[in-house]
Amino acid sequence: MKAIFKTCSSGLSILLMAASLSAMAAAQCATPVAKYHKQAWRIGDPAPSLIQTADAVEPIVGMWHVTFTAKGNADGLPDGTVIDNALLILHSDGTEVMNSARPPQDGNICIGVWEKTGRNTYRVNHLPWAGNDTTNAPTGIGNPTGPTRIVETITVSADGNGLSGRFLLRASDTSGKITANITGVLSATRVTIHTTIQDLL
């Protein structure tokens, strides 16, 4: 009889403890719960670890159709000259990739980084690395050209579906000497699952 009582008592204690923990968890239902995901595993890591991820995604993150247009170049390109027309992807980790409509031999894939500067405002450091000039394009490949740096200040629209801002482009030769300075404006619309080719033309 004593053995049965001890068994029942132990079982009841476990049930009461479980109920207490459940009540505590339920009481915290209004508290934001951190989200975790597995970190990238590397060879030699003794065990996987968890890192906290942000609940909110910045509105700049996603895919965009962007146009760069010259503006304010007193001694250079006239206002309204399209500098680039591209597809841009901005990642939540602060990096970006852009597929430019320029000829591939001119360096049409570009990369960069971005940071938040205020509410819905951002700064982008965009680095088209290197390519060739378009002297012989589209029938051939021109002479090597150096990298370019495009610094952008961007604002995301209130509805989250548009970007606008300004840019400063500095092109250089292969030794790093500045060969061109272009200022202008940029605008973009978000690319969605419903975007068609006609929307991009």
Distance CA 5, CA 62 (A): 63
What rounded mean pLDDT belongs to the chain? 79
Q: Give the HSE-up count for residue 86: Cα atoms under 13 Å, Cβ half-sphere.
A: 24
Query: Residue 32: which pLDDT band, with cuts at 50, 70 and 90?
Result: very low
Distance CA 148, CA 171 (A): 4
- How is the chain split among helix, strand and coil, in percent rounded to 5? 15, 45, 40
Structure confidence at residue 143 (pLDDT): 74
More confident: 121 or 31:
121
More confident: 47 or 24:
47
> Tokens 């378009």, residue?
134
Query: Residue 21: which pLDDT band, with cuts at 50, 70 and 90?
Result: very low
Residue range 30-46: average pLDDT?
44
pLDDT of residue 24 exceeding 50: no
Predicted TM-score of the model (pTM): 0.70
Domain spans of the chain, in order of start: 1-31, 62-200
Distance CA 83, CA 126 (A): 14
Structure confidence at residue 146 (pLDDT): 81
More confident: 1 or 58:
58
More confident: 12 or 195:
195
Structure confidence at residue 134 (pLDDT): 66
Name the least confident of 95-109, 137-151, 154-168: 137-151
Distance CA 156, CA 32 (A): 26
More confident: 39 or 43:
43
- The CATH code belonging to domain 62-200 is 2.40.128.120
Query: Residue 161: which pLDDT band, with cuts at 50, 70 and 90?
Result: very high
Structure confidence at residue 139 (pLDDT): 65
pLDDT of residue 39 exceeding 80: no
CA distances from 119 to 12, 59, 66, 125, 191 (A): 54, 10, 21, 19, 22
